[in-house]
Amino acid sequence: MMASLPLIVPQWAVPMPNVAACMTTRSGGISQGVYGALDGQGGLNLGTHVNDAAEAVQANRARLRMHLPSEPAWLTQVHGTQVVDAATVVEAPEADASYTTQPNVVCGIMTADCLPVLFADVSGNVVAAAHAGWRGLASGVLTQTVRRMRTAGGSTIQAWLGPAIGPSRFEVGEDVRQIFLAHDVVLASAFHAIDTQPGKYLADIYALARASLAEEGVTMVTGGEACTVSEPERFYSFRRDGVTGRMAALIWRTA
């Protein structure tokens, strides 16, 4: 019998019967301690690089695999802009996004505050997943993902913004703000000064992502309501906890 997992299922602007997608939470696995669930049950940490017990991570990945058509094309995420063809992934290349045109090939990325973005051409012919922390956003990881999808045959593309650090909890300095304003001063609206901390701002990573997507003509964007930091019972958060697990956002074309 398939083990039940509390998966989040993206809601798209345009339904696509030939595309499937989901995102995990911190619940449903066997990891313990800081990687566990707050209800005392096991956590579904999927990250092999966070010092969790290796056997627990493999067991968690096996539970997730029961819900997928194939093993995800796991990446070694480096906050860059490299986009790879998920169908060619063998051993976790350094990249922060993947795409595919082939059925049952699973694009996947891991997060614990950074923004997971899932993409699909409305025809369902091309899908992609991207890892977008502020560095990746500033460098253009979403831009590169959309362009790679279009090169692969995608036309009208829609996106789903998965759970990330929310606009009331994402504190950044003036240096980060200036990096984005150097690209477009309009992005100043995504930063709100903290009155009690001169030079500090609350950044809206969802607004920054929507602006980046809009530049590439991607305006059908859903999601972007959750806050990983503020919902410890549902999500891992590096900003909140320091040592913690990783969740996964996944998408694939169905056969």
Strand stretches in 2-143, DSSP E: 19-23, 27-31, 43, 83-85, 97-100, 107-111, 115-121, 127-132
Q: At what angle do helices 141-151 and 205-215 cross, to 10 degrees?
A: 40
- Three-class SS state of 209: helix
End-to-end CA distance of the chain: 22
**What are the structural domain ranges in the chain?**
19-163+228-253
Say if strands 157-161 and 220-223 run parallel, antiparallel, or are unpaired.
parallel
DSSP three-state, residue 19: strand
**Mean pLDDT for back-to-back runs of 10 residues, the chain (255 residues):** 79 96 98 94 97 98 98 98 97 97 98 98 97 98 98 97 98 98 97 97 98 98 98 98 98 94
Question: Rounded to an integer, what distance in angstroms lies between the CA atom of residue 225 and that of residue 87?
Answer: 31
DSSP letter, residue 76: B
Which pLDDT value is given to residue 3?
Answer: 57
pLDDT at position 2: 47
Bridge-based pairing of strands 157-161 and 171-173 is unpaired
Q: Of 148, 158, 160, 146, whose CA–CA distance to 206 is shortest?
A: 160
Query: What is residue 8's predicted lDDT score, i.e. its pLDDT?
Result: 98
**What is the pLDDT at residue 100?**
98
Beta-bridged to residue 160, according to DSSP, are 118, 222
pLDDT of residue 95: 98
> d(Cα 238, Cα 5) in Å, to the nearest integer?
22
3-state secondary structure 121-182: ECCCCCEEEEEECHHHHHHCHHHHHHHHHHHCCCCCEEEEECCECCCCCCEEEHHHHHHHHH
Domain 19-163+228-253 fold is CNF1/YfiH-like putative cysteine hydrolases (3.60.140)
